[in-house]
A and B are shown apart, each in its own frame.
Chain A
Amino acid sequence: MAVPGHSVALPRAELQRLLDALSAKGYRLVGPTLRDGSIVWETIQHVSDLPIGWRDHQEPGRYRLEQTSSNEIFGVVHGPQSLKPFTFAPREPLVQIERSRDGFTARPTLPHSEKVAVIGARACDLAGLIIQDRIFLKDIHRDPYYAARREGLFVIAVNCTRALSTCFCASMETGPRTKSGFDLALTEIDDQLLIEAESEAGVDLLSALSLSPATHEVIGEAAARVDACARNQVRRVDRTGLPQALYAAHEHPRWDDVAVRCLACANCTMVCPTCFCHKVEETPDLSHQHTAHARLWDSCFTEEHGYIHGKNIRQTTKDRYRMWLTHKLASWIDQFGTSGCVGCGRCITWCPVGIDVTEELPALLRPGEQQPATSSQ
């Protein structure tokens, strides 16, 4: 937590100074912006590009923005995008291949490492980023595409002081206070911004701004508001014994119940900060002399995901929803030593029929009328 000397205060009206300092260091600034009744990451130049005075309201299957009379800069908690698109690109060209006289030549197409400063990421987004770092950078192979994008990323996080009805980060122990992975973290307290630096780059930037140290009062007030945000969360996940209980619930009748509601639209996997499934696509040009190999986000809810010549491992929506939830909250822990869920609540909000993971889990863990195990073969 912030202590005097390591934290500075910036009048809210002067946030532009921070943005200008980042621009001067060569960063492209990206922040939350209003578009089509939602919030998306866009390149910004000025504080006025941010959704000042707006707030989001999220419920199962529902996202609404409301304009208020306040000057709050970070009143919107989040839109459908986490930090994922910045590092794990929705479409990443992998290799460019040219036909040659006796075959072909292949050339990897690594993205250039652009300096991007993202302002407004939340604790859940950072938790998602750290999980994806583990997957893409610390496994048997280091993914060079993710690594190149990650290298240039500067994150200015915002500690949450307002909980959405769909938030459950407190129970997942990922928020609402940012823990790690950021360069700077802001807490908006009325007309003040408390700024804490975590990384060396963040410390450098702050020192260049020569701001006054934050007072005990500001630090105390920020802590109190973030704590209140945690207490105000109405949704939670009880993780006690969760992986084993979920594995054991494989034949639970609740899967049939949720499968009736689930449209298998894949929205939950697209908005999830941690989902990493992708497919590899080959796109030859019309001359058939050049072709490109790219990876695209995929989802375990698609028909093709479990397909193997002549059969589909996960034929039904029930199989696919069970795969997603069991992976997210159980097998993910076996694979990567961490849960795949950060409690951001996006899968609840952006589900067209409002399926709520915090409601499905307890239902799945309550004793149900067990059905006899059946075989797929």
Chain B
Amino acid sequence: MDNPYDIHPATIVEKIREAEDITTHRVQLVDKQVRQQFRFAAGQFNMVYLFGVGEVAISIVSDPDEPEFLDHTIRAVGRVTKAIADLQPGDALGIRGPFGQGWPLEEARGRNVVIVTGGLGCAPAVGAIEYIFRRREQYGSVKILHGVKTPHDLLYRERFDKWRRAHDTEVLLTSDQPDKTWRYHIGVVTELFECVSIDSAKSIVLMCGPEIMMRLGVPILMRRGIPATAIYVSLERHMECGIGLCGHCQMGPYFLCKDGPVMRYDRVEPWLGRVGV
């Protein structure tokens, strides 16, 4: 893209309602040439634009081998995301991107993959899991550990059930504020580490969720012999440009929009949990 600020019109072709305030919009870029040249990696994001309202950074959760359609899972929490969530198929959006560094899914080929997610913000991890399941034979065992606060926060129930049934795959769910209907583990997600065997030499860990989950969880994994260089975290900061210029997404020496949002843990370890960083 010559001008990284240029906005490319796109049309919503399908709207998938994931939960009360979570929507996936499948969009198609209008310009044929732009569409054909658009390539992305799992974990990268687009700046998604709504006419007259503004832009917001949203990760692309669809398969990178099918760039004709781009899925963006949006949680309606702010001015722009609420307006975008209200859109319907046929409505127009704008796309700038793709930006950032995605998941190390090439590097993970042939290895066991442990995916640790917490809370509602696991859309980028869902993209990575779906990517692996479409190429299941290329990866070793897959363990998905997901924690929510209350059972009500558990999204993608059907997907978790689907993944659970897959070969050589474990899915562990936990809630730290369960109700009577909850039939899985009780506690926070890091407690699930005790429930699985992890081959520390063969595994790669992908984490997405609150930073406190990473800060408390990673030392436990490292004590079990997993090196920090085999642990990847997807981080979140305010982003306005996507190209490391607007300054908002800084974390220590990094611009998470261009150096991240997926970062190898050893690189961000000194900065995670530092107040005001």
Tell whether A277 pairs with B211 under 8 Å between CB atoms, given A99-B51, A305-B238: no
Query: Once the chains bind, are A377 and B211 in contact (CB under 8 Å)?
Result: yes
Range of interface residues on chain A? 35 or more
Q: Encode contact with A along B182-214: 1 for CB under 8 Å, 0 otherwise.
A: 000000000000000000000000000011100
A95 within 8 A of partner (CB) = yes
Q: Roughly how many angstroms separate A280 CA and B248 CA in the complex, as a whole number?
A: 11
Q: Which of A299-334 contact B (CB under 8 A)?
A: 300, 304-310, 313-316, 318-320, 322-323, 327, 331, 334
Question: Contact between A108 and B247 (Cβ–Cβ < 8 Å)?
Answer: no
B77 and A309 contacting across the interface, CB-CB below 8 Å: yes
Task: Report the nearest A residue to B94, measured CB to CB.
Answer: A106
Chain A residues 77-111 with CB under 8 Å of chain B are 94-95, 97, 99, 102-106, 108, 110
B66 contacts the other chain (CB 8 A): no
Q: Knowing A103-B9, A280-B240 are in contact, say whether A305-B245 is a contact too (CB < 8 A).
A: no
* Separation of A318 and B276 alpha carbons in the complex (Å): 9
Q: Is the CB of B8 within 8 A of A280?
A: no
A278 engages B7 (CB within 8 Å): no
Name the B residues within 8 Å of A375 (CB-CB): 212, 215, 273, 275
* Known contacts A104-B9, A108-B5, A288-B52; A278 and B240 CB within 8 A of each other: yes
CB proximity to B under 8 Å, residues A109-168: 110, 135-136, 139-141, 143-145
Given that A291-B52, A310-B77 are known contacts, is A106 also in contact with B252, CB under 8 Å in the complex? no
Which residues does chain B contribute within 8 Å of A362, judged by CB atoms? none
- Indicate if the CB atoms of B276 and A308 lie closer than 8 Å: no
Within the complex, the shortest CB–CB distance from A216 to chain B, in Å, comes to 47
B3 CB, min distance to chain A CBs, angstroms: 5
Least distance between B153 CB and chain A CB atoms (Å): 14
B55 CB within 8 Å of chain A: yes
A250 to B3, CA, bound (A): 38
A199–chain B nearest beta-carbon distance, Å = 26
Interface 0/1 of B54-72, CB less than 8 Å to A = 1100000000000000000
Q: Which residues of B contact A291 (CB under 8 A)?
A: 51-52
- Chain A residue, CB-CB nearest to B77: A309
Chain A residues near B240 (CB-CB < 8 A)? 278-280
- Given A95-B7, A298-B246, A376-B273; A103-B77 close (CB under 8 Å): no
Q: Point out the residue from A102, A277, A374 that lies within 8 Å of B92, measured CB to CB.
A: A102
Residues of chain B with a CB closer than 8 A to A110's CB: 3
Q: Are B245 and A104 in contact (CB under 8 A)?
A: no
CB atoms of B245 and A280 under 8 A apart: no
- Of B3, B92, B258, the contact of A140 (CB 8 Å cutoff): B258
With a cutoff of 8 Å between Cβ atoms, the chain A residues found around residue B211 in the complex are 377
For the complex formed, measure the closest distance between the CB of B157 and the CB atoms of chain A, giving whole angstroms: 24
A139 with B273: in contact, given A280-B54, A280-B55 (CB under 8 Å)? no
Q: How far is the CB of B234 from chain A (nearest CB, A)?
A: 14
Given contacts A106-B6, A278-B240, A293-B7, contact A305 B274 (CB under 8 A): no
The minimal Cβ–Cβ distance linking A284 to chain B, given in whole angstroms, is 4
- Closest residue of chain A to B55 (Cβ to Cβ) is A280
Is A63 positioned at the interface, with any CB of B under 8 Å from its CB?
no
Assess whether A103 is in contact with B92, with CB atoms less than 8 Å apart: yes
Q: Identify the closest chain A residue to B11 (Cβ).
A: A103
Given A94-B5, A305-B238, A377-B212, check contact A298 B92 (CB 8 Å).
Answer: no
In the complex, are the beta carbons of B246 and A95 less than 8 A apart? no
Proximity bits, B144-176, A CB within 8 Å = 1, else 0: 000000000000000000000000000000000
Asked if A70 CB lies within 8 Å of chain B CBs, one says no
Q: A282 to B53, Cβ gap below 8 A?
A: yes
The docked-state distance in angstroms from the alpha carbon of A268 to that of B274 is: 24
Which partner residue on chain A sits nearest B92 by CB separation?
A103
- A237 and B3 CA atoms in complex are apart in Å by 39
B209 to nearest A CB, angstroms?
12
Q: Are A377 and B210 in contact (CB under 8 A)?
A: yes
B3 near A278 with CB under 8 A, answer no
Q: Does B141 contact A (CB under 8 A)?
A: no
Contact assessment for B253 and A331 in the assembled complex, using a CB-CB cutoff below 8 Å: yes
Please give the distance in Å from A300's CB to the nearest CB on chain B: 7
Which B residues touch A105, using CB under 8 A?
A: 9
Question: Across the interface, which residues of A come within 8 angstroms of B81, CB to CB?
Answer: 309
- Alpha-carbon gap, A327 to B247, bound state (A): 10
Q: Is the CB of B275 within 8 A of A103?
A: no
- Interface assignment of A370: CB less than 8 Å from any CB of chain B: no
A298 engages B7 (CB within 8 Å):
no
Docked pose: A128 CA to B182 CA in angstroms: 59
- Chain A residues with CB under 8 Å of B94's CB are 97, 104, 106
The answer to whether B247 touches A298 (Cβ under 8 A) is yes
Residue A335 at the B interface, CB < 8 A?
A: yes
CB nearest to A146 among chain B residues: B245
Q: Which residues of B contact A27 (CB under 8 A)?
A: none
CA distance A46 to B54 in the complex (A): 45
Question: Is the CB–CB distance between B245 and A139 below 8 Å?
Answer: yes
Q: What are 11 contact pairs spanning A and B, CB under 8 A? A: A97-B94, A108-B5, A140-B243, A140-B258, A141-B243, A282-B52, A284-B52, A305-B238, A306-B248, A309-B75, A331-B253
Other A-B pairs, 19, CB within 8 Å; known A97-B94, A250-B275: A97-B51, A144-B3, A250-B277, A278-B241, A278-B245, A279-B246, A280-B54, A288-B52, A295-B241, A298-B247, A300-B247, A305-B247, A305-B248, A306-B237, A306-B276, A313-B238, A323-B250, A334-B253, A335-B253
Listed in ascending order, the chain B residues whose CB lies under 8 Å from chain A are 2-9, 11, 30, 51-55, 75, 77-78, 81, 92, 94, 210-212, 215, 236-238, 240-241, 243-248, 250, 252-253, 255, 258, 270, 273-277
> Which 9 A-B pairs give the minimum distances between C-beta atoms?
A319-B276, A103-B92, A277-B247, A334-B253, A284-B52, A106-B7, A377-B212, A309-B77, A282-B54
